[in-house]
Amino acid sequence: MSRSRPLVVVTRRLPEAIETRMMELFDTRLNSADEAMSKADLIEAVKVANVLVPTVTDRIDAAVLAHANPELRLIANYGTGVDNIDVDAAYKRGITVTNTPGVLTEDTADMTMALILAVARRLTEGERLARSGDWGGWTPTSMLGHRIHGKRLGILGMGRIGTALARRARGFGIAVHYHNRNRVHDTVERELEATFWDSLDQMLARMDIVSINCPHTPATYHLLSARRLKLMRPHAYLVNTSRGEVVDELALTRMLRDRELGGAGLDVFEHEPAINPKLRELPNVVLLPHMGSATLEGRVDMGEKVLINIKTFTDGHRPPDRVLPAQV
pLDDT (tens digit, 9 = 90+) per residue, 280-312? 999 999 999 999 999 999 999 999 999 999 999
Q: If DSSP codes are grouped into helix, strand and coil, which group holds residue 204?
A: helix
β-strand pairing of 263-266 with 285-287: parallel
Q: Is the pLDDT of residue 114 over 60?
A: yes
- Cα separation, 127 vs 253, in Å, equals 22
* DSSP designation for 26: S
- Cα separation, 314 vs 317, in Å, equals 7
CATH superfamily, region 105-287: NAD(P)-binding Rossmann-like Domain (3.40.50.720)
- Cα separation, 91 vs 260, in Å, equals 44
Q: How many residues belong to the chain?
A: 328
Average pLDDT score, the chain? 96
pLDDT (tens digit, 9 = 90+) per residue, 117-174? 999 999 999 999 999 999 999 999 999 999 999 999 999 999 999 999 999 999 999 9
Contact 9, 43 (CB under 8 A): no
- Cα separation, 163 vs 196, in Å, equals 13
Start-end of CATH 3.40.50.720 domains in the chain: 7-103+296-323, 105-287
Average pLDDT over residues 60-88: 96
Q: Return the active site residues.
A: 243, 272, 290
User: Which string of b and e fits 150-182 if b means at least 16 CB within 10 Å?
Assistant: ebbbbbbbbbbbbbbbbebbbeeebbbbbbbee
Task: Provide φ and ψ at 212, rounded to 5°.
Answer: -90, 120
Pick the CATH number of 7-103+296-323 from 3.40.50.150, 3.40.50.720, 3.30.70.100, 3.30.70.20: 3.40.50.720
